[in-house]
Amino acid sequence: MNSLLDSPVQRTKHAQGAASNKISVDRLRQLHRFAGLTLAVFIGLHLINHLFALVSIAQHIKVMDAFRLIYRNPLGEALLLLAIMVQVPSGIMLVRRKGWRGLPLAERAQVASGGYLAFFLVAHVFAVMMGRYFFHVDTNFYFASAVLFSPVWLFYVVYYGLSVVSVFTHVASIHYQKMLPRTSPQRAQTQALAIVGIGVVITVLILLVFSGAVYEIRIPPAYKWW
Ligand code: HEM
């Protein structure tokens, strides 16, 4: 049977198509990485901010006020929202190409954590924007903590908890794949598990302090929607 690519012209066209497809996937990866690094800066500051709640609510709010100078000025906010608008669709497109079946565990962990982060980022930023522009409240410590005192607190424990664990799982799986060619699989695995472990500790600390297990929290009436 004659192959569709029998003629030299068709073969050249096919090769060009494959090359341009490769370039666009590489571009997509580059975009995803760049937006991811931008987001990582914010997420780093954001989680450090939440850990300051272990000191006191006043300290958390003070640190948030300082960090807001970076991410709440028009340029910082535009950059952050643009990064999310690039990160979420580019991640979904990369996953659609990669698929799920037959993937090694590290890549499955990367896809699953990335999928949750895509959902969480959209839902979480929407909630913050609603709080800010519709309910006209300061989206500070109390905004995040209030939901953990609501009748649906258990949902929020899982929702918040998975978000922080997913950030660290995503980083750990990328780190594991990058380290594999450079070190032994055991060492790469130990380092990846250590990253996830740090994430779990940070998650538990944040959830404990925001849920009132570390000190008493009195939610102001403006934040009670139930
Ligand atoms: C327990 C976990 C978390 C809590 C309690 C929490 C809480 C908050 C709060 C209170 C704000 C409002 C900040 C402000 O008004 O300055 C906020 C904003 C935001 N959070 Fe989180 N967050 C958590 C985890 C995450 C994670 C894991 C991500 C990213 C994957 C994330 C991404 C964002 C983004 C993008 C904003 C919008 C910032 C802005 O434009 O003002 N958060 N979060």
Instruction: Tell whether ligand 1 has an atom less than 6 A from the beta carbon of residue 163.
Output: yes
Q: Give the model's pLDDT for residue 98.
A: 86
Backbone angles phi, psi at 15, to 5 degrees: -65, -40
- pLDDT, one tens digit per residue, over 21-53 is 666 889 999 999 999 999 999 999 999 999 999
Q: What is each CA distance from 47 to 65, 157, 163, in whole angstroms? A: 14, 16, 11
72 CA closest ligand 1 atom index: 41
**Domains present along the chain, CATH in parentheses:** 17-223 (1.20.1300)
- pLDDT, one tens digit per residue, over 95-107 is 998 889 999 999 9
Contact criterion met (CB below 8 Å) for 102 and 151: no
Contact criterion met (CB below 8 Å) for 103 and 110: no
- pLDDT, one tens digit per residue, over 147-184 is 999 999 999 999 999 999 999 999 999 999 999 999 99
**What's the distance, CA 65 to chain centroid?**
22
Q: Is the dihedral of CA 129, 135, 140, 143 positive or negative?
A: negative
Instruction: Tell whether ligand 1 has an atom less than 6 A from the beta carbon of residue 50.
Output: yes
Instruction: Tell whether ligand 1 has an atom less than 6 A from the beta carbon of residue 167.
Output: yes
Share of the chain above pLDDT 90, in %: 85
- pLDDT, one tens digit per residue, over 121-135 is 999 999 999 999 999
Which residue has better confidence, 221 or 4? 221
SS3 content of the chain, % helix, strand, coil (to 5): 80, 0, 20
Which one, of 123, 118, 113, lies nearest residue 91 by Cα? 118
Instruction: Tell whether ligand 1 has an atom less than 6 A from the beta carbon of residue 206.
Output: yes
120 CA closest ligand 1 atom index: 30
84 CA closest ligand 1 atom index: 35
Residues 194, 183: Cα–Cα separation, whole Å: 16
Per-residue pLDDT for 4 more than 80? no
CA of 225 to the centre of ligand 1 (A): 19
203 CA closest ligand 1 atom index: 1
Q: Give the model's pLDDT for residue 2.
A: 47
Best of 51, 124, 201 for a ligand 1 pocket test (most atoms within 8 Å of beta carbon): 124
Considering the entire predicted model, what is its pTM?
0.91
